[in-house]
Amino acid sequence: MKRPLEKVTTLLEALPYIKEFYGKTIVIKYGGNAMVNEKLKSAFAQDIVLLKYVGINPVIVHGGGPQIGELLKKLNIPTKFVGGMRVTDKETMNVVEMVLVGQVNKEIVKLINSHGGNAVGLSGKDGNLIVAQKIDSKEYLSQVKAPEIIDLGFVGKVKKINPEIVNKLLESKFIPVIAPVGIGEDFEAYNINADLVAGEMAAALKAEKLIMLTDVEGLKDKEGILIPSLSRSQISRLIDDGTISGGMIPKVKACEIALTGGVKKAHIIDGRVEHSILLELFTQKGVGTEIV
């Protein structure tokens, strides 16, 4: 009897959180190891399907940098990064769109559906979902103190989110899966950092939470100790003193965008842990770092 009772206890622990989040939208940035490790991919899909079946509305925004790099290498198209951004000429942008929209997006849709979900893939072009604006290369590269100032090409930022198509899908019980390719007012496609798209999407959808899956335990202090919780007002100071650096900066900025837009909490969690989404949402302790 002991083991069945333990299972019941676990379900009862989740009950107040299921009640709290019922009918709410949760935006999840999917990337890193959770996208490539087969065991983690399966656990992710199970988490998403379970959320939908208990009445929560998950919205997935995904990346795909390694997959883009792999195809560019196969096609002998040189890749150059400046200030953490991929220099994206027209030829590279065609590959970016092909990989993110035509390959990675559809693989995630297939993965979720194979576990009993009902996912639909989108890019920013669909219904003008993500209106993009070319980033100011000089301004950005100066801010990050890049070694050279050059035109980054078709690298964009979010100018506007038109969430109508996502809301319609949620109303119809679908799970939206969104590739971070935006459409400019010049009708060109732009590659946008997936973390920042997730933050903007969460704000536009008035989501309850933003969850960022990463390949680290969460935010850590200078001694390497996990920071379980911090406030939005602390972010700038932690970036300035170097506690938050590198690839963690756009993730934290995305959380800041979401919180400023009305999202209640943002979480940076370890996607290398199986079922980390359920652990964050349905347990008292949670995992990773929450930003409020």
**Residue of 184, 195, 199 whose CA lies nearest to 133:** 184
Phi, psi of 171 (to 5 degrees): -60, -30
Would you list the DSSP string of 118-171? -EEEEETTGGG-EEEEE--HHHHHHHTT-SS----BSEEEEEEE-THHHHHHHH
**Residue of 177, 213, 181, 209 whose CA lies nearest to 197:** 181
216 touches 202 (CB < 8 A):
no
Higher pLDDT, 283 or 198: 198
Q: Tokens 């009918």 belong to which residue?
A: 23
Tokens linked to 189: 């496609």
* Domain coordinates in residue numbering, the chain: 22-291
**In this model, does residue 249 exceed pLDDT 90?**
no
Q: Tokens 């079946």 belong to which residue?
A: 53
Sheet holding 175-179, edge to edge: 119-123, 175-179, 57-62, 25-30, 209-214, 265-270, 289-291, 229-230
**Residue of 29, 43, 189, 181 whose CA lies nearest to 101:** 181
Task: Give the model's pLDDT for residue 21.
Answer: 97
**In this model, does residue 20 exceed pLDDT 90?**
yes
Distances (CA, A) of 242 to 220, 222, 245: 11, 8, 6
pLDDT band for position 26 (cuts 50, 70, 90) = very high
Higher pLDDT, 257 or 147: 257
pLDDT tens profile 75-108: 999 988 887 788 999 999 999 999 999 999 999 9
pTM value is 0.94
Average the pLDDT over 145-155 and give the result. 87
**In this model, does residue 2 exceed pLDDT 60?**
no
Tell me what percent of the residues of the chain surpass a pLDDT of 70: 99
Mean pLDDT (the chain) is 93
CATH class of 22-291: alpha beta
pLDDT band for position 144 (cuts 50, 70, 90) = low
Average the pLDDT over 127-140 and give the result. 94
What distance in Å separates the CA atoms of residue 72 and residue 180, rounded to the nearest whole number? 18
Which amino acid is located at 219 in the chain?
L
Tokens linked to 131: 């209106």
CA atoms within 13 A on the CB side of 193: 18
Task: Give the model's pLDDT for residue 11.
Answer: 84
Tokens linked to 134: 């070319």
Between the two ends of the chain, the Cα-to-Cα distance in Å is 41
pLDDT band for position 8 (cuts 50, 70, 90) = confident
pLDDT band for position 245 (cuts 50, 70, 90) = confident
